[in-house]
């Protein structure tokens, strides 16, 4: 299954930071906030979330206001967006990662979210689970799937035409 390469993610963040900040891109915010409990798969995740959040943690400095066991609350030092960065241990070294990003005082730069946020990369359970083929297909079919090139264009878009 195709996934964006580390170089692709680095280039995406170079683009975000050249424009201002990833927090100002609605499609980025929606992707890293995706919670699959909306389709009855609360212990499932998508690899694109982890890829984006690893780069976010590395490249976007947060002003930390509060740390809890599995959550950091603060704001982005670039654009002042409110950020709640969370991770929940599910099984051994498996975590469900999310970031809820509320825009700061600067206007959005990126394109709006139009419809369901597409996925790129594997959709998988964060803990061992015995699901039927039909259940796995239902969960995977709940989200449109894009090839890495198209997904990168989607999350980087500056206008809704892309």
Higher-pLDDT residue of 127 and 68 is 68
Per-residue pLDDT tens digits for 1-59: 588 999 999 999 999 999 999 999 999 999 999 998 889 888 888 999 999 999 999 99
Q: State whether residue 51 is helix, strand or coil.
A: helix
How far apart CA 53 and CA 28 sit, in angstroms, is 10
Tell me how far apart the alpha carbons of residues 148 and 120 are, in angstroms, rounded to a whole number: 6
Distances (CA, A) of 136 to 41, 58, 79, 133: 10, 32, 39, 5
pLDDT at 162: 47
Per residue in 68-126, pLDDT (tens digit) is: 988 999 999 999 999 999 988 777 677 789 999 999 999 999 999 989 999 998 888 87
Q: 118: exposed, middle or buried (C-beta count within 10 Å: 0-12, 13-18, 19+)? A: middle
């Amino acid at each position: 299954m195709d996934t964006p390469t580390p170089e692709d993610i680095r280039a995406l963040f170079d683009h975000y930071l050249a424009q201002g900040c990833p927090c100002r891109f609605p499609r980025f915010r929606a992707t890293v906030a995706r919670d699959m409990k909306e389709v009855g798969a609360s212990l499932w995740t998508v690899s694109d979330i982890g890829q984006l959040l690893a780069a976010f943690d590395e490249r976007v400095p947060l002003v930390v206001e509060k740390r809890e066991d599995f959550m950091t609350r603060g704001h982005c030092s670039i654009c002042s967006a409110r950020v709640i960065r969370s991770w929940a241990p599910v099984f051994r070294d498996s975590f469900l990662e999310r970031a809820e990003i509320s825009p700061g005082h600067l206007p959005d730069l990126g394109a709006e979210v139009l419809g369901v946020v597409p996925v790129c990369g594997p959709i998988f359970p964060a803990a061992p689970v015995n699901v039927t083929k039909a259940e796995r297909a239902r969960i995977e079919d709940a989200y449109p799937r894009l090839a890495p090139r198209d997904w990168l264009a989607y999350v980087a878009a500056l206008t809704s035409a892309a």
